[in-house]
Chain A
Amino acid sequence: MAAVPMAETTLLVFRGDRESGKAVEYRVPFAPGMVVLDALHLIQARQAPDLAVRWNCKAGKCGSCSAEVNGRPRLTCKTRMDSLPRDKPITIFPMKAFPIIKDLVTDVSWNFKVNRKIPPFRPRPDVEWKMYQRDVDRVQEFRKCIECFLCQNVCHVLREHGKEEEFGGPRFFVRVASLDMHPLDDVSRASVLKEELGLGLCNITKCCTEVCPENIHITDNAIIPLKERVVDEYYDPLLRLVRKIRGAGRA
């Protein structure tokens, strides 16, 4: 490090729990290439040892360190401090759509419950285990998901309308898409999508796609094709008839 005195940055970090909380100001030294998570760790080590932050890999691969930085949902480990305006304090708040446990840590357990509603991968009977890259490519996009839940956090069906009971959220549409579009899968999840995950409530505002740190085209590549699938299955009388005759082994 050069001997030049380092600049400082001011952060306003949410401190509190389920009952109450407020933004608290901290000043940290500003180093080149620093990310927001580095600043939070500095605060923990020097000023607030009990500041609760979730993180694991610090490399954008685990999806643990999601928060709202200057009002925008992001991974704190991939948000460079020098990408943020420094003429005013940087605000760091927990994800809004989930109940607060403490400080920046929220209760995301609801997501794990939703996941259990999804019928697992089941290969076609007597399948030969061959797949081609062109067929795998499409599915691999969805499997990049690191479960940061930022898409869940910005989805207004959850964030503003609190439809946790009826709605699964973009993360789990991506997951259903990854199963449904697996070249060797043999399960129809249309009824689950319609009845239990409330796919119809999504009105395609694309907020989820915008915040995805893995650049998954959640709306265009996962949600819209799934919506079409549900429409085919439920509202296309001709297709329904064909399926009925064929039997097709579908649930």
Chain B
Amino acid sequence: MTLAHETHEHDVLIIGAGGAGLRAAIEALAQGVRVGVVCKSLLGKAHTVMAEGGIAAAMANVDASDDWRAHFRDTMRGGKFLNNWRMAQLHAQEAPERVRELEQWGALFDRTENGEILQRAFGGHSFKRLCHVGDRTGLEMIRTLQDRGVNLGIDVYMECAITRLMKDGDRIAGAFGYWREQGRFVVFKAKSVVICTGGIGKAWKITSNSWEYTGDGLALAYDAGADLMDMEFVQFHPTGMVWPPGVQGILVTEAVRGEGGVLRNKNGERFMERYDPKRLDLSTRDVVARSIYTEVREGRGTEHGGAFLDISHKPAEYIKRKLPSMYHQFLELADVDITKGPMEVGPTCHYMMGGIRVDAETAQSSVPGLFASGEAAAGLHGANRLGGNSLSDLLVFGRRAGLAAAEHAKRSPTPTIDSLQIADAEREMLLPFERGGGESPYAIHEELQDVMQRLVGIFRTEEDLRQALSGIEKLQERTARVHVEGSRLFNPGWHLARDLQSMLTVAEAVTRSALARRESRGAHSRIDYPDLDDAWGKMHNVVVKKADTMKLFESPVIEMSDDLKQLLIEESGTK
């Protein structure tokens, strides 16, 4: 029997209220369907607020010869050709229009002298392509979308966590969750569900990610039968803060290098000359992160185990204007004035290239009625994401997911949710209170972060990955016995106990996929297989749930259309 719970009914239910979720909601609403958005935090606090550098879009406002073809080429090269080419094409073609639209909804970007949107340089982009607002582009984006969505009338369920997707036969029927505030259960009935829950970085110890990044959406989709693809590709951003310990991992935007910042080791050498003499500090993130890591490992790191990043050769006023948050962040948290001296930086877990496998045009997963966009979806970025491509991803595929989810809802009958599914979901959530003497979720989380940080980091080996896998399995067993103290009223221990399940699922998927891919490509570096392998370049790793265990299979990369192949050959001279 199920306990008393609220029920809400929508045509389209969106899980996650970051850039992708809000853009999806706005689009679905424009199609005239009933839209609900559920988010774990308050509205406007999603991880998107932390995006700093900018939105990549080939608007050609600064470099007149930029166009979508160049953006497409950069994206494919950055992703080491493991990208879904069609997604990369749509993304490059549609990003400028999405940025203009954002401006027409009230966003205020920095300007060129002619009054156009200003664009800056970024790693892996061959032109100045990032539309930005100082170093708080994500805040501008989320606030614009939030206000637009609220004014259009989306229903937002704040501080509400989804713990299961509900199905009607093969197709999606809604979702089950609880209000963080009182702990009461809630059922959402919906014809389409769009997962926009972002990434998985809280499974690592040193991370730029907010607490919400526990891989919920990926785990929900996986449990509902969807494919997770390319899970081995976890991006370590080269520049996180390394000191003081309390702020370790907090992001130092790539815009510091985009605006002319230079990396040096403790001997003062500009070490990127060794690793990528052509692009230097503006090489792709995978290359820069590995370079810093290698410098540290070989004894040329800074006192706190990082590298120096210096922009103090630029005028102080310029730095304060272009990088105001970085200026304050270092001054207040690390007692460093970046207009006068270097920052100490090191790699931090930042972004998940892999995720739910989706169709390029519609963002639909392998489960009918289940869609995904933003960081939770796989495909666009391949083996490594270029900076600035995530904010444009949110807009381009958020919109596409919202559109397709609304269309799907319009032609689908109302699903039914059987009460056994609900009762089971309730039972699962109440168990941690009922069992006595189990472990604390905080302790298990710390151990998981330690395992992932040590064994599934920037450089990987078969031995480490096997050890990680057995560690994760043990933690999964212990999590099944986890105990929660207190009541259901706003109880972070209870919330973490549920989030742990998601983190363990994604940790297992990352580790299994990393173990299988015996090559080094993009963000995935195997010390025991240091080179690119052409055969692996034609394969994705996919995990799927079969009879309650994780199965991994290889799936061929979709063949690129001839005109795009030609496009890549034409400029094969540049790396």
**A residues in contact (CB < 8 Å) with B:** 1, 17, 31-35, 38, 44-46, 49-64, 78, 80, 101-103, 105, 108-109, 112, 115-116, 120-121, 123, 129-133, 136, 139-140, 143-144, 146-147, 179, 182, 185
Contacts and interface: CB of A to CB of B under 8 A. Distances in A.
Contacts of A62: 45, 49-50, 210
A105 B183 CA distance: 14
B150 A182 contact: no
B49 A129 contact: no
A130 to B, nearest CB: 3
A44 B106 CA distance: 40
Interface string B481-500: 00011110111111000000
A223 B452 CA distance: 49
A129 B43 CA distance: 29
Contact of A55 (B115, B211, B484): B211
Interface string B459-492: 0000000000000000000000000111101111
A104 to B, nearest CB: 10
A59 B329 contact: yes
Interface of B: 41-47, 49-50, 100, 103-106, 108-111, 114-116, 118, 133-134, 136, 139-140, 143, 147-148, 150-151, 158, 181, 210-212, 243-247, 250-251, 324-325, 328-329, 332-334, 440-443, 446, 484-487, 489-494
Contacts of B147: 115, 120-121
The 5 A-B residue pairs with the shortest CB-CB distance in the complex, in nearest-first order: A33-B244, A50-B486, A49-B493, A130-B115, A121-B106
Contacts of A46: 442
Contacts of B247: 33, 35, 58-59
A133 B111 contact: yes
A63 B334 CA distance: 19
21 contacts: A33-B243, A33-B247, A45-B440, A49-B441, A50-B484, A50-B485, A50-B491, A50-B492, A52-B491, A56-B212, A59-B329, A61-B50, A101-B489, A112-B158, A115-B147, A115-B150, A120-B148, A130-B115, A140-B134, A147-B44, A182-B108
Contacts of B109: 136
B492 A52 contact: yes
Contacts of A53: 492
A36 to B, nearest CB: 10
A62 B134 CA distance: 16
A113 to B, nearest CB: 11
B490 A143 contact: no
A62 B17 CA distance: 14
Contact of A63 (B45, B210, B333, B443): B45
A209 to B, nearest CB: 16
B244 A64 contact: no
A120 to B, nearest CB: 4
B45 A64 contact: yes
B442 to A, nearest CB: 4
A144 B491 contact: no
A50 B181 contact: no
Nearest to A116: B150
Given A112-B43, A147-B44, 5 more contacts: A34-B244, A57-B47, A59-B251, A105-B181, A115-B150
Contacts of A102: 489-490
A38 B247 CA distance: 9
A54 B43 CA distance: 13
A82 to B, nearest CB: 9
Contacts of B139: 61, 143-144, 146
B441 A131 contact: no
Contact of A80 (B41, B100, B150, B333): B333
B181 A101 contact: yes
A49 B497 CA distance: 11
Contacts of B243: 33
A57 to B, nearest CB: 5
B244 A32 contact: yes
A205 B109 CA distance: 32
A139 B103 CA distance: 14
Nearest to A60: B329
Contacts of B446: 45
A129 B103 contact: yes
A38 B181 contact: no
Contacts of A132: 111, 115
A33 B250 contact: no
A17 B250 CA distance: 32
B545 to A, nearest CB: 30
Contact of A120 (B41, B111, B151, B490): B151
A179 B244 contact: no
Nearest to A32: B244
B108 A131 contact: yes
Contacts of B328: 60
